[in-house]
Homo-oligomer: A and B are copies of this chain.
Amino acid sequence: MARYRSTAWRAVEFAAMRYFKSDNTAAVSAEILQALGAANQGVALAYGADRWSESLDAAFGKFFGREVRVFAVSSGTAANSLALATLCPPWGTVLTHAEAHIERDECGAPEFFTGGAKLSLVGGAGAKIQPRDLAARLAWFEPHVHGVQPRALSITQATERGAIYTPAEIRALADIAHEKGMTVHMDGARFANALVAQQVSAADLTWKSGVDVLSFGVIKNGGMNAEAVVFFDPARVADFEFRRKRAGQLFCKGRYAAVQLLAYLETGLWQRNAERANRLAARIAAAAPQLLSEPFATNQVFMKLGDERIAALSGEFGFYPWGPTGSGEARFVCSWDTPEQDVDALCAALTKLR
């Protein structure tokens, strides 16, 4: 059998480069490291019974302005998959965008965790699902045993093409889903970036608009190795805790995951880091607005450069060509710690390309 190494990702030596490939290549914010050190005192009960883990519900409840149940896991894939496994039975289906991370970049993790539930795909520009497309896709399902039953909707905030859903847009989708008896999951790997890009509250962008469960991303935006799964309705938690344990995602030294989540919220890190990343990306978008292939919104910039320009930039800058071979599109991502001078250089290079 052919075997693949993760290093298949590595096309080039990156040491010499200014790096815009992804926000997950960033380091960890000082606030997170400090919190880890501060928690490193004496014994703490294992498996989530420590005082940091036990204060997660209250901290996130304050952030979201309502009672919530919160659980730490070690990756966004785990967060998404455990949430979906709790919401969707094996004979159910999760409606999601064809370009969603859960469909394209998790090696079938949702299918694994759910026991074989199906992802049913919806198209749409900007990796955003439109209400009419969701409704049309749902019309194919019939309430009989021959087909899988729609049980959950999963949307990504910000989307895989950098777009954001407004509260009104989320509400329109959630209403369709809820009317069918489905629940609404939000993959918030870049939730903070989407939140600071709008003049709305965290509540507006989630439960007030119909989101039932949120994968609350921390790692990309300054965290080390903890994400949060947030249930806005405690009743939806159901058997999540058994599933988390069974998936190897209940950590014996749980304080080191919980304290990252707490520091992220309580020091305002989520906001500072997201605002900086978005601001830097905005500079890139503004440097060559005529090349944008997606409207700019958060910390991702998509441009139709053409293969020649991509080749020209590849010497100095690290970034992903996007889409199928020959699309000529490129993605630039800024993180919380992208050097300002790297952005200066990229903007200058893009300006020259005009």
Contact = CB atoms under 8 A, between A and B. Distances in A.
A10 B45 contact: yes
Nearest to A29: B40
Contact of A27 (B42, B78, B121): B42
A61 interface: no
Interface string A324-337: 11000000000000
A43 B252 CA distance: 29
Given A24-B253, A241-B5, A246-B112, A225 B74 contact: yes
Contacts of A224: 36, 253, 256
Nearest to A116: B111
B26 A241 contact: no
Interface stretch (A87-95, A169-177, A271-279, A299-307): A87-95
Interface in A247-280: 247-253, 256-257
A148 B105 CA distance: 8
A7 interface: yes
Contacts of A294: none
Interface string A83-115: 000000111010000000000111111011111
A36, A82, A142, A145: residue with the most chain B Cβ atoms closer than 10 Å? A145
A119 interface: yes
Nearest to A7: B49
A143 B8 contact: yes
Interface string A302-327: 00000000000000000000001100
Contacts of A252: 22, 24, 75-76, 219-220
18 contacts: A3-B238, A4-B143, A6-B144, A14-B43, A19-B43, A27-B43, A28-B36, A28-B40, A33-B40, A81-B248, A107-B148, A108-B246, A109-B246, A111-B116, A111-B118, A112-B115, A136-B324, A220-B252
Interface of A: 1-10, 14, 19, 21-22, 24-28, 33, 36-37, 40-49, 53-54, 73-79, 81-82, 89-91, 93, 104-109, 111-119, 121, 136, 139-140, 142-149, 181, 219-220, 224-225, 237-239, 241-253, 256-257, 324-325
